[in-house]
Amino acid sequence: MGKRIVVALGGNAILTDDPTAQGQQNVLRETAEKLVTLVKQGHQLVIAHGNGPQVGNLLNQQLAANSEKNPALPLDTCVAMTQGSIGYWVQNAMNDILIKENIQKQAVSVVTQCLVNQDDPAFQNPSKPVGPFLTEEEAKAASEKDGAHYKEDAGRGWRKVVPSPKPEEILEYPMVKNLIDNGFITISAGGGGIPVIATEDGYKGVEAVIDKDFAAAKLAEMLNADYFIILTGVDNVYINFGKENQKKLEQVHISELKEYISQNQFAAGSMLPKVQAVIQFLEKRPFAQAVITSLDNLENLLTGTVVSNSSLKAVNQNA
């Protein structure tokens, strides 16, 4: 019997060396060919994706053209725009491969909002870099003008930083579930979803970005997914990475992952949020499974084949 699978695509599954629209679409076609393998195996597929490079590029374009008559759009709108464009690319790539493989299914993208709490501590500590690199003088001038926060970023310059709150709910979840129940492959929660808060007048977009792995984990939880898969640039998660005693993780319990986190084994800007998202999902779905691996290793994962570079599979020990 097929499983319900939520797959979160990392940036390498969308963007490599060619940042043009055609270049990204070419990469996504290769990605779609691998994802369709899951559909051929009879699984229900839900696709989430990142948008970090794309929204950064769009912000640069917005700022470059900013004027009184053509004002730059706010960040939540830029997230929506890149979510729509990438969803459009993924949808078309998937549908092309489905037709080629004579699979009677269709992919569809859903512009997705994520509810966040306006009291989330992240709003008091903006930490997610967005937009172009500036000199310190330019950053100070920009901060005086827009009131935003700017921080030095790894010796490369100063960048605007925005809050990265945790997602509490996927607002379009009922529609996504309905599409899945009716056999559609859905692309949703792209770029972490559009961050919104609840107000007396309805939902309002906020100047923030949501980590796509946490948003995908929340979506997987709400959909009662059997598998939550995070695709990244490596086949395995490692501890003691780069050292003589480096060790890849193949099957672990979430209690072990928490211990590794306390040891600072995972880099804050790369693997840590992926591991935390896996834990978040499994604590809500104790009988499900979560996997971190590469796109190339995806087929081996669900056919039951254990390969020497098999992925990290985290299973809640309380299951």
Q: Which of 274, 297, 313, 316 is catalytic?
A: 274
Task: Supply φ then ψ for residue 198, to 5 degrees.
Answer: -90, 130
Specify the pairing of strand 237-239 against strand 128-134: unpaired
* 149-153 CB contacts, 8 Å cutoff, 24+ apart: 151/127, 153/129
Among candidate residues 34, 160, 166, 212, the one labeled active-site is 212
Sign of the Cα torsion 98, 17, 14, 258 reads positive
Catalytic member of 10, 87, 128, 191: 128
Q: Distance between CA atoms of 261 and 295, rounded to whole angstroms?
A: 24
Q: Take residue 135 and report the two structure tokens written for it.
A: 């000199």
Ramachandran region of residue 163, left (φ > 0), alpha (ψ -120 to 50) or beta? beta
Instruction: Catalytic residue, from 12, 57, 60, 309: name it.
Output: 12
Look up tokens 């098999």; give the residue. 310
User: Quick check: helix, strand or coil at residue 131?
Assistant: strand
Cα distance between residue 225 and residue 223, in whole Å = 5
Phi, psi of 238 (to 5 degrees): -120, 150
Cβ–Cβ under 8 Å, residues 311 and 291: yes
User: For this structure, is 12 an active site residue?
Assistant: yes
Residue 269 designated active-site: no
CA dihedral 135, 271, 113, 30 (to 10 degrees): 100
Asked if 128 is an active-site residue, the reply is: yes
- Is 274 among the residues known to form the active site? yes
Distance CA 39, CA 105 (A): 9
Length of the chain: 319
11 is catalytic: yes
Catalytic choice (3, 11, 95, 117): 11
Active site residues: 11-12, 128, 212, 274
